[in-house]
Every structure is written in C-alpha cells, then in structure tokens.
Structure 1
Amino acid sequence: MAATLAISLLGHVLFLKNQIPFPLVQFSRMPGGHSNSRAAKKRLDLLATIDTLTSHLHTTFLALSHSLALKGVVEVTGDGRKENQILTVGEPSHKPARAHIMFVIGPSVGAARARVLLTVDGLEVKACGARDYMLPASDEQTEEVEDEDSEEEDSDEGDADEYETEDDNDEGATDTDEDEQEEDGASETSSLPPSSRSPSPSESSVPSSPASVSRSSPAPKESLITTPVRAPLAPLRTTPRVQSAKLTPVNAPSPSYAEEQQTLRAAERLLSRTLANACAEEGGGMSAELAPAQTHLFLRAPRRFAHPAWIPRQNLVGTLDGLLDAFLAGGSTGKNAKRGIPTEGVWVGCKVNNVAGIDEAEGRRPDIDEREEIEEDEMIWWTWNGKIVGFSDW
C-alpha cells in the first residue's frame, strides 16, 4: 500500500509541477511510434525509471519495516560476542510506525524548486522471516498435544503386540493340525497286525508312537515362537510437538489478490480525488509551472536500514530534519511560513490515530529508555540512486 501510494503521488507531482507533459498513466498507453525520436527516447527512459523505482519501493518498505522492528533492541554480550535480541512478534512494541519520503525537484536540496513530503502514519512493523502475528498458546493446548502424542505411541505399541499375538495364534493352529495328523497316523499303525512277536533289538530305543516324537522335540517350535516377526516399533517422536501447538494466528486471514488490488485501486482514486480537490481551491494546490529538472527521492530510515538502491546522506540530516519538523509543526504554510520554497505534503494515516505510540517530535517509542538507544537506531536520510529527469517535448 505504501509503495503504491508513493508511486501514485510521484506521478501526480511530476505532472502538477510541469515536469512531464502528460500523466504517467497516459504515457504508458501512448503508442511507441513518434516523429520526434528524441522525445520518444526521453519518454521511454522515464517509463523505465519509474518501473525500476516501483520495484525498488516495494522492497524498500519491507526493509524499512524490518529495520524499525529492530529499533530499541539493546545489544547484550553472550559467549564473548554481541548479539541483537530480536523482539518477539506480537509484543506491544510491534505496532504501526511512521514513515517519511520526500520528493525534491531541483538540482540539489539547497537549490530546490519544490518539495513534497509523503508521510505514511501506520506502516506495518515486522521483522523479516518472523511469523505473522503468532502468539504463544496456553498450557492446556500444550498438554493436549502431549497427550495425543502419548496416545499415538500407545496405539502403535498395541498394534505391534496385536500383530505378534496373531502370529502366535497362527503358529499354534499349525501345531494343532500337525498333532492331529500325527495322531491319525498313529491310530492307523496300531490297527495293523504286528510283523513279528519277537522283540526287536532297537525297539527299546524307538519311541512307541510318532506323537511322542513330536512332543519330545519342541525345539523348532520354540525357536519360531521366540523369534519375533519384526522388531518392536520405535517411538515416532522423542519430544512432544509443542512448537507447532504454541503458535496460533490471531490476525484476520490475508485478503486474496483480487481484494488486495481492489483496495489499492480505491486508495489511488482517493489520493487522486484529494489532490484534485486541493488544486481546485484558492492557491492552486500543488500545481506550479516549473522548468523541467531532476527529481530526487529521500527516505528517512534508521542507520541499520539496508537496501542496495538507497545511499545514506549523513550531511543532509540537519537540513531535512529541520524541514520535516517544520512541516509536522505546521510552520511551512500560512502566515508564519519562512521565506523560500514551502514544503508541501500528503498525510496518509490509518483509521486508528496514534496507534503506534510514537513521539511525534523525536520519533521514539515511549517504552524505550533513552539510555538503551544504540547508534543503529539513529534516524538519518537516504537518497535513491536512480535518476528522474523531467522533459516537455512530446
């Protein structure tokens, strides 16, 4: 949302300040063939630059949100080295913050011909890689998950015992069938007449019936019974699933892509209508007849902010902070305005005012002690490394 509104405002500023002959939306819809090749080249360069800036702004606000999420974190010493303690997502400190981006038309900040400030009051603050608004669950849910794990392990062990019992029953049934066959053979043998009445020398060593042979040598059966069919099942988890049960979403489900695009279009239309109403008032609003010049972009972010498309400008902190403070105090317009180029601005806020709990003058959270502030929390200004040059040929 912040990136979309920033690009939309930049397009309006370039057109209202006479930096381009047509709005950006109309530029993208114009046919490519023109008689003047120089004007066509400028138009294509501008569209390519805006396209690059659009992609950069989406990642810029993500990096800004991450750097603001780490603001106020105190470095501690552990094992001989310093580490940052990342705040847990869902804590009260992770509330919407305020972001400032300034468009300066002119060769430099000191020789600016126009300044337009965009303030986004309600930027989502979230550390990159953290879960979205996940809070620890209660102890009851943890106990329930542990009970479910123990029940699953018991059921697995019960299945293994049942499987072994079925194998034993099958073996017992096989032994019974063998005994019945041996007894039938013994009865048939006893019904036949003896071949000789004289005792045989080896008769004493031979058992009287085959059944006694099967009963006197149960070693193979014991080996089959004692040998398990499969190894006992090991427990599936040595630790309970507490991590997956501790985190529960508390925020509303994310909207679909169509709903998100509809919301962005509605925000763009609202911004366009607001600027049109301002231009219709006395004074002309933001409209001004300026000669084509270069447009610079400046972003206020902490020192720990990291993005390849933005360059820190420490030498401009005093000047730009003074312009920002004057704009927030309402001194850049009206009777008390200083001589020079006024700072115009657009304020984009959320429905709930001051939800971030941020000091408007200093930009600090009230729950963070000043003694705990570190150098990386200092707010400085960064400039975009791209180049936007206006033109009047078409």
Structure 2
Amino acid sequence: TTTGSTTGMANTTKTDQYDVPTVRLDTERVTHELAARLATSFLAHVLFLKNQIPFPVVQLARMPDTDTRCRATKKRQQLLSSFDTLASHLYTTFVALSTSLALRRTRVDADEKSGRSDVGTVFLAIVLGPTIGTAKSRVIMGIDGFDIKVWGLRDDAPRSPTLTKTVECSENDGPSEESDSHDSEEDVETDGSTESLYETDEESTVDQTSSEDGEEDSSGDERPPLSRSPSLSLPASSPPPPPLASAPEHVALPPRLEEPDDTVLRAAERLLSFTLARACAEDVHGQGIAAELRMFLHDPSSFDFLPGELIYSVYV
C-alpha cells in the first residue's frame, strides 16, 4: 500500500501501473506528524486483516474491563500498551528519518540534486511472523512526498515588517534614555537641596524650644509641599517613553510550514481506511491484503517491470 501526495507532482505515480492501492492526499507534502498517524492507522488495519487480533484496535480499546484477573484481559491490556508505545515511537522515528535524509542530501554534489530536494519517498515494512527470518507475510507502505528537512534548526525566513519596526523603535530610544538619566540626576540634586531646606527648618524649630505648640505647627506649615517640588516636573521637550508591552509580541519568527490540524489527520485516516476496505472487497484473484502473501526476495535487477526504488519485496 502506498500513501502519497499529488499537489505539485505528476498526475500518475509508478505504483499506479502495478495495481497497488494508493491513497491520494490534497497536500503539498506529507509531514512527520501526518506520516506517523497514517503509519499507526495502517498498522492497526494490517493486524486485524491478517488475523493477528480478533477485533480492530479501536474496538479493543473501547471494551470494558469486566475481570482484570482474566488472561484475555491482561493480553488485551498488554497489546494496547504496546500499541500506544509504538505509536509514540513512530512519531520520533519519522522526525529522525527526515533529519537523516536531509543531512545525507547536504553531502551530495549539487549537480546530482533534483529540483524538489525538500521531499522524498520513504518506505515502512510491517513483518508478521514469529521472527524476521521466518516471517509469514510482509506488507510495505510507501510514502511519496515526505517532507525532508533538518529538524531543530531555525529556518532562514525573512523577518516580518512589524519586527523591523519594533527594532527601530528600540534603537531610537537611546537619546531618550540619556535624557531620562540626565533628568534623574537633576532630580537627585534638587531633592538634595530640598532636604537641606528641611534640615534648616528642623534646626530652627529645635532652637525655639521655649515657644508654644502653635508656633511649631506654623513653622511646619511653612515647609514647601512635595507636589510643588521642581523634581517631580518633567521637561516638555522629552518624548514619552515607548510602551514596553508591545515589543515581545513580534519576537518569534513565522514558521515555514504549518502543521496539519486534527481535522486533516482524521480525514486522511478515514481515506486510508476506505482505500484498504475497497482493496479487500475488490480482491478477485485472492491475493489481496487480507490473504497471506508470498514473498520472493530476489535481485531487483531481474525484474525490469518494477521501479528501482522498490528493492525490498515483490508481491505475486
């Protein structure tokens, strides 16, 4: 089974010539998240169609636990736990695969690179049997249009105009900061002079100890109020400081490619399920995905009718 994307690619793929079930997605490329979800759904279908589990994985997860000590219940819980672990590992596996292919292509000569070097074709093999050497059947899933890039590196995307405008404002704040610092120095000096006035007033009140309490209150009223102090007045020529809350809004760079949402992922999974069900229903020769497939592991050069990329297996 091959899963591929058609936008920006050829109308017919190589797999269409060999009667292989194909799922066509309306997307430019298959991201690692979409590939992991499709691979997990494909594995669940293969386990059920190959008679490895009595019910689909989704139905097994919805079954209630009547008796936890039952052997069948323990086996079902172990299966679901292993399936969840494998699904999480597939996510990181496709991320590592995309990074490895991108690093490998950076070492290739520029003349050998194709025009669409940011996408490629990858394969996933599902082996059913006691061991890999004594496998009873194998199923290959091909993903055409897989997104290839080095994950974890910042993309060389141009900065947005809002970010440039914010940076320019921050650069022009230099003179205003200097003026603010100069004003603060003047405020300190004026505050010092005001404090000296307060000290002289206090000394004069201490000397007049024989006077009445009313005179002390009148001398206290003669102090200049704090609101009339020149240290609190701002010069009219200094510009207002820029707002600090608007700067962090435009720091992050725009992403290169948006991740698909849950609606797109669920639609792709339903399309994959429909394609597999139709492939099983249209099985005329008895060699569909629900049947046990025989494998011939031969040299790929002996099969001239197969593409060069399909080097793992041949279905008959």
TM-score, normalised on structure 2? 0.54
Larger radius of gyration: 1
CA distance in 2, matches of 1:34, 1:126: 48
| Alpha-carbon distance change, 328 to 57 in structure 1, aligned in 2, over 3 angstroms | farther
User: What is the match of residue 43 of structure 2?
Assistant: 10
Q: Which structure ranks higher in relative contact order (CA pairs < 8 Å, sequence separation ≥ 6)?
A: 1
Question: How far did 1:98 drift?
Answer: 2.1
Deviation larger for 158-167 or 27-36: 27-36
Residue 53 (structure 1) shift: 1.0
Partner of 1:283: 285
Match of 1:273 in 2: 274
CA deviations 1:110-139 (Å, max 9, x no partner) are 5432221111223232323223x4414499
The match for 1:49 is: 82
User: Which residue of 1 is the match for residue 307 of structure 2?
Assistant: 329
Check the 8 A contact 2:137/2:292 in 1, yes or no.
Answer: no
Deviations 1:116-171 (A, max 9, x none): 1111223232323223x4414499x86x6764344111110011223334556677
| Aligned with residue 113 of structure 1, among 130, 136, 142 | 136
Instruction: Specify the alignment match of 1:127 in structure 2.
Output: 150
Q: Are 2:122 and 2:146, in contact at CA under 8 Å, matched by a contact in 1?
A: yes
Structure 2 residue 155 is the aligned partner of structure 1 residue 153: no
Q: Give 3-state SS (helix, strand or coil) of 1:98's partner.
A: strand
- Return the alpha-carbon distance in structure 2 between the equivalents of residues 34 and 138 of structure 1: 60
CA distance in 2, matches of 1:6, 1:53: 10
Instruction: Output the CA distance in 2 between the equivalents of 1:329 and 1:21.
Output: 36
1:45 match: secondary structure: helix
Percent identity of paired positions between Structure 1 and Structure 2: 43
| Alignment CA distance shift 1:149-1:119 (3 Å) | same
Partner AA of 1:112 in structure 2: A
Amino acid in structure 2 at the alignment position of 1:249: P
Residue 250 and residue 110 in structure 1: after superposition, are their counterparts in 2 closer, same or farther (change >3 A)? closer
State the alpha-carbon separation in 1 of the partners of residues 285 and 69 from structure 2: 36
Distance in 1 of aligned mates of 2:43 and 2:92: 17
Deviation track 1:320-366 (CA, whole Å, cap 9, x = no partner) reads: 9949x98962999xxxxxxxx8539xxxxxxxxxxxxxxxxxxxxxx
**CA deviation digits over 1:223-271, x for unaligned, max 9?**
xxxxxxxxxxxxxxxxxxxxx999842636556xxxx222222111111
Partner of 1:390: none
Number of residue pairs matched by the alignment? 220
- Whether the 8 Å contact between 1:136 and 1:247 is mirrored in structure 2 is no
Matched, 1:251 2:256: yes
Given that 1:138 and 1:246 are in contact with CA atoms closer than 8 Å, whether structure 2 keeps it comes out as no
Contact 1:134 1:249 in 2 (8 A): no
Specify every segment of 5 or more residues in structure 1 that has no aligned partner in the other structure, as ranges. Answer: 76-91, 177-243, 291-318, 333-340, 345-394
Q: CA deviation at 1:12?
A: 1.1
Separation in structure 2 between the aligned mates of residue 7 and residue 135 of structure 1, nearest angstrom: 33
Aligned CA distance change for structure 1 residues 7 and 69 (closer, same or farther; 3 Å): same
Alpha carbons 1:103, 1:115 under 8 Å: kept: yes
- CA–CA separation in structure 2 for the residues paired with 1:12 and 1:252: 30
**CA RMSD between the two structures:** 4.5
- Which amino acid in the other structure matches residue 343 of structure 1? Y
**1:166 and 1:27, CA in 2 relative to 1: closer, same or farther beyond 3 A?**
closer
Q: Deviations over 1:75-128 (max 9, x none)?
A: 9xxxxxxxxxxxxxxxx9872332211012234455432221111223232323
Query: Letter of the aligned partner of 1:66 in structure 2?
Result: T
Letter in 2 for 1:135: A
Task: Give the letter for the 1:162 counterpart.
Answer: D
Q: Is the Cα contact below 8 Å between 1:3 and 1:57 reproduced in 2?
A: yes
In structure 2, the residue matched to 1:188 is none
SS at match of 1:69: helix
Say which structure is richer in strand. 1
Aligned pairs for 1:1-394 within 5 A: 1-33=34-66, 37-74=70-107, 95-109=118-132, 111-131=134-154, 133-137=155-159, 147-165=168-186, 248-249=253-254, 251=256, 254=259, 260-281=261-282, 282-283=284-285, 285-288=288-291, 322=300, 329=307, 342-343=314-315
TM-score, normalised to structure 1, is: 0.45
Greater helix share, structure number: 2
CA 1:20/1:328 → structure 2, altered by over 3 Å: closer, same or farther? farther
**Structure 2 segments unaligned to the other structure (5+ residues):** 1-33, 109-114, 198-248
